[in-house]
Amino acid sequence: MYTAAVDAAALRHLRGQRLGRALRRLERTLAWGETLLWPWLDLGIRLWLAQIFLVSGLLKVANWDTALTLAAYEYPVRWLDPYHAALLGAAVELVCPVLLALGLATRLAAVPLLLLSLVIELEYRHLAEHLDWIVLFAGYAVLGAGPLSLDRLLARGTSSSALPLVDPLLHLYGAISRYLGPLFWLAVRAWLAWSLVQTATTPPAEALAVLLLVGLATRPAALVAALLLASAADAPYLLMLAAMLLLRGGGAVAVDAVLWQVLQRRYPRLAGMSQELLARLPQVVVVGGGFGGLAAVRALRDAPCRVTLIDRHNYHLFQPLLYQVATASLNPADIAVPIRELLRDQDNARVLLGRVSGVDTRARAVLIGEQRIPYDYLVLATGARHSYFGRDEWEPWALGLKRIDDATAIRRRLLLAFERAETCTDPLERQRLLTFVIIGGGPTGVELAGAVAELAHHGLADEFRHIDPAQSRVLLLEAGPRLLATFPEQLSAITERSLRALGVEVLTGARVEVVDGGGVVVGGQRIGARCVFWAAGVMASPAAEWLGVEADRAGRVKVGADLSVPGLPEVFAIGDTAYAEAWDGKPAPGLAPAAKQGGAYVAKVIGARLEERNPPPPFRYHHLGSLATIGRQAAVADFGWLRLSGAAAWWLWGVAHIAFLASLRSRVAVALSWFWAYLTFRRGTRLVTGGEEG
């Protein structure tokens, strides 16, 4: 078996980084949780406190005589006459809660409420609830409001404005937060610890109180404390304080903070490793930045190696949603993320933009034109391309869907067909322009046909004056006996019925004989159409030709049980590039989960070889299920043990696809686009771009 030697010094240094990486992953996770949840917790606390005092103020104004009587006899303030006490209290309760809820001048609003809470506690009645108010208002006086506030929204413009005293006031706020903030978090921990001791006197509660007081394991301690304090009289406020510690930590005056600083100094970032030392590690070259290639690179984050990812594009593409770009539902940027952005924090990885032209297996080098990239291990994740079953002359007329360029070309041809039909005076030509043929009844063909039908029947409604887009013909041609051949027959039948309900004409057993500029010929019958889209077949990239090894009929490299190429143990193939009988004796499917599982597995094999550990067991593909959407609230899902259709499958399909997008920005953009389209039936990217077609 081939193994690449790992420099001993580099290996020791890299092993020393693993805890550091684990710490940084933990840091990123905690920061992500704080970023996502803290704004909403802060807003909820402000609204909760504001409504308590605002309601009290409104009641006083509505019953002023009663308020004066209470101020004189029920809760008099020794150092203030009843009239002025009631007037001042009502003013504070009417103005400050509104400012607090909006997060406007939050610190200035919190101070009067803090003083009012102190007066209520000291002059009127002693309650734990009042002490909770005091702690929370002190926090807002010291720290200000969170991200969901007008203070944060206006901060940048206010700081550079010409308003008097703004700059000194902002500096004062910063100094207060910097110096008193740690003391506030110490006070919160101390108050929770005291509440624990008062509420539960068992030894675990006392030990937990000690942890909170010293700030050791603050976040888990706060979580357990919240469970123990759930039955306290002032439980809502104590839970708020515990949640604050859970999201923000114990502050600077805590053992956690000291330990964190020590660990960060002990385990610095890998970027501190010299380039000379890094260059002595073995090099793993990954060709292809799709699902499999990216999974392999990410899984090699902690391996003692350098990783070079080569792709002809600078972005990672979420191919399952390409058809939505093609049908004007999404922008290309919604489903593509720059690869460098995704690997920005992986210090042992670099990205090269280039088109691989071959592999020199003798010299162990990948060829990019005249450039040679040496490798110790090579992972080929080059994906697949269109297959016209030997009829490549069909390609100009039947556009496939594998790249962003394909999707934008389909969108251009699709939208131009409607535009030209609007100005066309020949009824026969207009009918050809408004006839759309999709060849192939697999998931891509089904989804594309449903999307084209929805665009014609709903997305373009009332936008043309001489044509009715709803009169368009959408035909889905499948050579086999049914749609979605890999799904159960029951779901195939449901899919066909759903498509017909959308207005799609489904023809099964329809083998295409001719594709040209005038349309298609099926069973000797011509169907006139200016738009023909291909979703019938794919073939692997020329990876097998580069290696000079055996391939199957689709051009996939036949690999062994560990996904390595026979005779080339240092070379691996995954995803659509590989033919691996890893699905209960059947070939692993050309799906994104199979590619991702293969990439992660190959990374384990390479890591085991580099560190001279036992290899993992043979690769086995674990099928998570199959999903296909048909149209609005229509989809099918097959998990083997569970089969779904209709709205439930549609929602599941949407959630799954959003979850598997590569970046948070893409998830938000896609979710908002879908929400808008769902409410309005409108597609937001109906732009005809690119060169004019004849």
- Containing 350, the helix (H) or strand (E) segment is strand 349-353
Amino acid in the structure at residue 664: L
CA dist 558 and 9 (Å) reads 37
- Contact call for residues 297 and 349 (beta carbons, < 8 A): yes
> Both tokens of residue 390?
């030997």
In the block, tokens 């706020």 appear at 173
> Both tokens of residue 33?
């949780």
Nearest residue to 500 (alpha-carbon basis) of 468, 537, 475, 469: 475
- Containing 110, the helix (H) or strand (E) segment is helix 106-119
Selecting among 93, 447, 454, 496, the annotated active-site residue is 447
Largest Cα–Cα distance of the chain, in whole Å? Answer: 103
Using CB atoms within 10 Å of the CB of residue 531, give its burial: 0 to 12 exposed, 13 to 18 middle, 19+ buried.
buried
CB atoms within 10 A of CB 659: 8
CA dist 313 and 356 (Å) reads 11
- Contact call for residues 293 and 592 (beta carbons, < 8 A): no
CA dist 523 and 528 (Å) reads 14
- Contact call for residues 195 and 238 (beta carbons, < 8 A): yes
Whether 692 is catalytic is: no
CA dist 184 and 191 (Å) reads 10
In the block, tokens 């291909």 appear at 534
In the block, tokens 């009641």 appear at 59
- Contact call for residues 4 and 285 (beta carbons, < 8 A): no
Strands (DSSP E) contained in 198-305 are: 283-287
Nearest residue to 446 (alpha-carbon basis) of 280, 684, 587, 626: 626
Looking at the annotation, which residues are catalytic? 447
